Structure 1
Amino acid sequence: MNKHARIYVAGHRGLAGSAIVRALEQGGYRNLLLRTHAELDLTSQAAVESFFHEERPEYVFLAAAKVGGIHANSAYPAEFIRDNLAIQTNVIHAAWKAGTRKLQFLGSSCIYPKLAPQPMPESCLLTGPLEPTNEWYAVAKIAGIKMCQAYRQQYGFDAISLMPTNLYGPGDNFNLENSHVLPALIRKFHEAKLRKEPQVVMWGTGTPRREFLHVDDLGAAAVFLMQRYSDDAFVNVGVGEDVTIRELGEIVKTVVGYEGEVVQDLTKPDGTPRKLLDVSKLHALGWRARIDLREGIEQTYRWFLEAGAGARA
């Protein structure tokens, strides 16, 4: 990408999108096209086509999506499949139609079967049933991958797809109703510390294993792959290492400085038993994650404290 290229980051205020913006700015890219939801509703086909017709971005990072944890996916299945299908369909089609040189679509590791081999290679997509607690989001993301492949095959559109693992970091969602596990734990332990509560309750058995990628590593990988990768096949983006949810809780507990007891609520769902990406393809391309989990959680907690009430909305 030329340093002066017109680059549109869809979802630039979100966790992934804001990290991509930081990575681009650090790389010297200054001609960034950024629109808030109030300025551009990506679920509106007419609005999206008008934006692309007027602005003609040369490169597009499609990081906009409706996201959430187990509770949100279970409570709002229609919104998760409808909004995500609309966003990606509108942006991919409008980008191709407007002559965008290259588009990058961000998916999610939840696209893989619930009982996929571990670590999960890209080849295991569509080889088994999805995890029921997030299938609506997963189906939408699978459709996005296939749309990128279809537009490449039929129109020669240079559209690539990345599948990030669980992301965390500055700008995360700490709302206990719809956040993912790591920010939810940071907030839970922080508030329990302030209130001097004797225990913190964590969902499930604590035995599921998860991989966590700092969002600034994701931003660096996204820019790296936009510059150096062009292929029909999508690429896993992760660390290649995982921890149990219980182990994650212990790290957060230590970082926050909470001194009470941790209790597991066995009536709550665990979700997928394990989610670890096979990142051998990414490593072979020349990129590896750099931010250690403990270091990343410490940085995220500092951001949470500095953000104050804004992080707890």
Structure 2
Amino acid sequence: MIHNGPPHHSNEGYAYAKRMIDVINRCYHLQHGCMFTSVVPTNIFGPHDNFSIEDGHVLPGLMHKCLLAKQRQAAGEEGSFVIWGSGTPLRQFIFSEDLGALMVWALREYDSIEPIILSVPEEAEVTIKEAAMAVVEGMGYTGKVTFDTSKADGQYKKTACNDKLMKLNPNFKFTPFSAAVAKTCAWFEANYATARKGGH
């Protein structure tokens, strides 16, 4: 799966570097008998994330922008929660607490050099608009929401299949997306002064 076609040009170097982890794991196994593997998560979010608007990942960045809009609204200032792009691209998000539990499972139970995707199912994929609306609800924001279509959308979708994970760990239950977003929003707002957030 991870070697299926070239990666999107927007993160080509990063993507090929990640792919090479699988290659070197197989080479170590062939030459030295080592049982290294690689886990491949989808878009991670949760408390203690990097909430930088400039260089954080999409969901914590949206949370930061939404909280700033909420603060402006509370101060009586005009403005809106602005989301870059049309909101149509699709993403699979995994809650950091779920990923942590799956990492522990992989360390204890997964005994293969083949990479394994740690992700929510394909049907749990959401649009950026749906993710932004979950942030609006989780943050308790009641102001204006705007999609800035002058900004690029990026890759339309990056769907990952978790069939292998579910076959090996069929009883794992993922935290519902809205609940995970709400928990992360609450953590960020409560810890705004000390949370990682770049220059903002």
Calculate the TM-score normalised by the size of structure 2: 0.90
Question: Aligned match of 2:141 in 254, 258, 262?
Answer: 258
2:111 is aligned to 230
Task: Give the aligned partner of residue 305 of structure 1.
Answer: 189
User: Partners of 1:188 and 1:289 in 2: how far apart?
Assistant: 30
Q: Secondary structure at the match of 1:163?
A: strand
Structure 2 match to 1:199 = 80
CA contact (8 A) 1:239 1:289 kept: no
Q: Please point out which of 153, 161, 166 is paired with 2:30.
A: 153
Q: Residues 113-164 of structure 1: CA distance to partner in whole angstroms, max 9, x if unpaired?
A: xxxxxxxxx3xx3332211111121111111121111111211101011100
Equivalent pairs: percent with the same residue?
A: 36
Q: Structure 1 residue 289: deviation in Å?
A: 4.0
Residue of structure 2 equivalent to 1:35: none
Residue from 169, 184, 189 that aligns with 2:46: 169
The CA distance in 2 between the partners of 1:269 and 1:151, in whole Å, is 40
1:221-249 Cα distance to aligned partner (Å, 9 max, x none): 11111111121211111111111000111
1:214 lines up with 2:98 in the alignment: no
Q: What's 1:244 paired with?
A: 127
1:97-125: per-residue Cα shift (whole Å, max 9, x none)?
xxxxxxxxxxxxxxxxxxxxxxxxx3xx3
Higher relative contact order (CA 8 A, sep 6+): 2
SS of the residue aligned with 1:167? Answer: strand
Distance 1:289 1:152, change over 3 A: farther
Q: Secondary structure at the match of 2:191?
A: helix
Matched residues, number: 190
d(CA) in 1 for partners of 2:4 and 2:116? Answer: 17
CA deviation map 1:256-301 (0-9, x unaligned) = 1212222222222212211222111000001534211111111111
Distance 1:284 1:213 in 2: 18
Moved >3 Å (runs of 4+): none
Give the letter aligned to residue 230 of structure 1. D
CA distance in 1, matches of 2:4, 2:95: 28
Q: Structure 2: which 5+ residue stretches go unaligned?
A: none
Specify the SS of the correspondent of 1:270: coil
Q: Supply the distance in 1 between the matched residues of 2:187 and 2:143 (Cα, whole angstroms).
A: 23
Paired residues of 2:92 and 2:126 also in contact (CA < 8 A): yes
Please give the alpha-carbon distance, in whole angstroms, between the structure 2 residues aligned to 1:289 and 1:205. 31
Equivalent AA in structure 2 for residue 259 of structure 1: T
Q: Partner amino acid for 2:191?
A: A
Quick one: distance in 2 between partners of 1:289 and 1:212?
14
TM-score (norm 1): 0.58
Shift of 1:201: 1.5
Gap regions ≥5 residues in structure 1 = 1-121
Offset, 1:217: 0.7
